[in-house]
Structure 1
Amino acid sequence: MDFASFIGIISGLALIISAIFLGSSDIAIFLNIPGIMIVIGGTIAATLVTFQFKDTMSAFRAAFIVFSQDKQNPQAMIATMLQITKIARREGLVALSRVDADSPFLKRAMNMASDASDEDYIRKTLQADIDSLKMRHYVIQDVFKKMGLYAPAFGMLGTLIGLIQMLAQLDNPESIGPSMAVALLTTFYGSLLSTVIFNPIAGKLKARTILEIQTLEIIRDGTVSLLGSNNYLAVYERLSSYVPAHQRKPAGMGE
């Protein structure tokens, strides 16, 4: 589980709720069912108009995966590719087809390498997969980015509705204060969802996409380097450029 994301959302909500309790003894004044319906219902409706239903559902599934799984470690994939280089040198390229890999992308790369496919063909094929993943992830990120825009907009819309209803009752001065408070609640709901939920999720998805793409690029370059020279140090030098110098592990020539 990604505890940083979990702690961030929980602490953000906790601080806001604590501030509400400290500033008011009546928490009920912050609850308005019609306002919640306008903001949440309107945001979902606008999102479904903007995106296909399957893309919207994929976005929510992706968000769940991001928060339930640990992030990928490029350093671990570099170590895997170096281990594969040792296997190729000891047993030949044909042995790569027997490499046990959880990643379908890595398995595909190993199968093409074991078939002695052309380096340029392998590079272009794997790059096409990476580009396709970028586009899919862009749509998923965009779902939450758009929701982060729609929520405050529907909050403002709810506020305008409340103000219209309030102005229709100007002959009753006692109702103006409570009506204004209710009108402003929808703006509060929209801003809360945007800043604490939707935009942070979009940012987290983007960060995870960058890590995943980096991992796939390590597999791509590692496979091509392995076919080109099949040299442990050459593969290490090529792949180590993907991590900062102070995080690089020694080559460890354990052949």
Structure 2
Amino acid sequence: MDPAGIIGIVVALGAIFGALLLEGADPMSIFLPAPLLLVWVGTIGVGVAGHTMKDVISSYAAIPRAMRSKAPEPGKTVETVVGLAERARREGLLALEDAARDIDDPFLRQGLQAAIDGTDPEDLRIILEDKIASKRTHERMNAKYFADMGGYAPTVGIIGTVISLVHVLENLSDPASLGHSIAAAFVATLWGILSANVIWLPIGARIKRISDMECAQMEVTLEGLLAVQAGANPRTVGERLRSLLPPGAEKAAEKEAA
């Protein structure tokens, strides 16, 4: 599990409430039912209105996975593929059938099984590229849902502030309560901006980032499988795949290979 997403949100919320305490304010003063109802429920409502119910369910289901996901380790994938290439070179592609069942990565396992079954290389490339594209499209839709929510939330918060200020102007005859009423009016704007920039936008960015890393690993796997199927030299396969990795991952993969 990569804890960056949870740590980041917790730190941001801690900074906000810490600032409230340092200012001498009561943190509970921002937990007013009306602004909370309007901003959270209203934002979710307009978010649902802009998507299908299938999109909404899929997007919320993506949150636990995005927060719990471990950052992919493409270096390990490279070493696995190089090992498969060495065995295929010695014993033939059909000898990898037993090894395919022991592979945890479903994309690598399914692609290797298709190669063993004799799928044409061009057809195999198309099939695997389509799987990567489908995954990327689906997860970018999930990320877009939360990015949209991040755009809606501040505006919904402003609507709440305007509603509260209208109520304030209706009660100008009671000057003693004006300060509290005006402060309460801006709570909706606070929650709109806070929810957008601390919750919705980071979640969307996290989903997209995890998806990009997983798709990049799948692309490395794709090139490796095609090389294994073609019977390429294992050393060449390793060098080719490591050249596709980001600089940090490439160095780690070289150390593992050494």
TM-score when normalising by structure 2: 0.92
Matched, 1:48 2:48: yes
Task: Summarize deviations over 1:19-65 as a string: whole Å, max 9, x none.
Answer: 11121243332221000000000011111111222322222222211
1:124 paired residue among 126, 129, 137: 126
- Aligned partners of 2:85 and 2:231 also within 8 Å: no
Q: Report how far residue 2 of structure 1 moved.
A: 2.0
Matched residue type, 1:93: L
- Structure 1 match to 2:116: 114
For CA contacts below 8 A with separation 6 or more, give which structure has more relative contact order. 2
- Structure 1 match to 2:58: 58
Q: Report how far residue 183 of structure 1 moved.
A: 0.8
TM-score when normalising by structure 1: 0.93
- Structure 2 match to 1:39: 39
CA distance in 2, matches of 1:253, 1:173: 75
1:170 paired residue among 162, 165, 172: 172
Matched, 1:101 2:138: no
| Residues 129-138 or 229-238, more deviating | 229-238
- Aligned partners of 1:72 and 1:211 also within 8 Å: yes
Q: Report how far residue 171 of structure 1 moved.
A: 2.1
CA distance in 2, matches of 1:4, 1:231: 39
- Aligned partners of 1:59 and 1:141 also within 8 Å: yes
- Aligned partners of 1:88 and 1:230 also within 8 Å: no
Task: Summarize deviations over 1:64-112 as a string: whole Å, max 9, x none.
Answer: 1121231111111111111111221232111233212222221221111
User: Structure 2 vs 1, CA of residues 138 and 34 (structure 1 numbering), >3 Å: closer, same or farther?
Assistant: same
| Count of matched residue pairs | 254
- Aligned partners of 2:89 and 2:231 also within 8 Å: no
- Aligned partners of 2:156 and 2:192 also within 8 Å: yes
User: Structure 2 vs 1, CA of residues 240 and 10 (structure 1 numbering), >3 Å: closer, same or farther?
Assistant: same
Q: 1:236-251 alignment to 2 at 5 Å?
A: 236-245=238-247, 247-248=250-251, 249-250=253-254
Matched residue type, 2:196: S
Q: Name the % identity.
A: 31
2:230 paired residue among 225, 228, 231: 228
Q: Which runs of 5+ in 2 are unaligned?
A: none
CA distance in 2, matches of 1:22, 1:250: 49
Task: Summarize deviations over 1:141-175 as a string: whole Å, max 9, x none.
Answer: 01110111111111111001001111111222222
Matched residue type, 1:164: V
CA distance in 1, matches of 2:70, 2:256: 26
Q: Report how far residue 252 of structure 1 moved.
A: 7.9
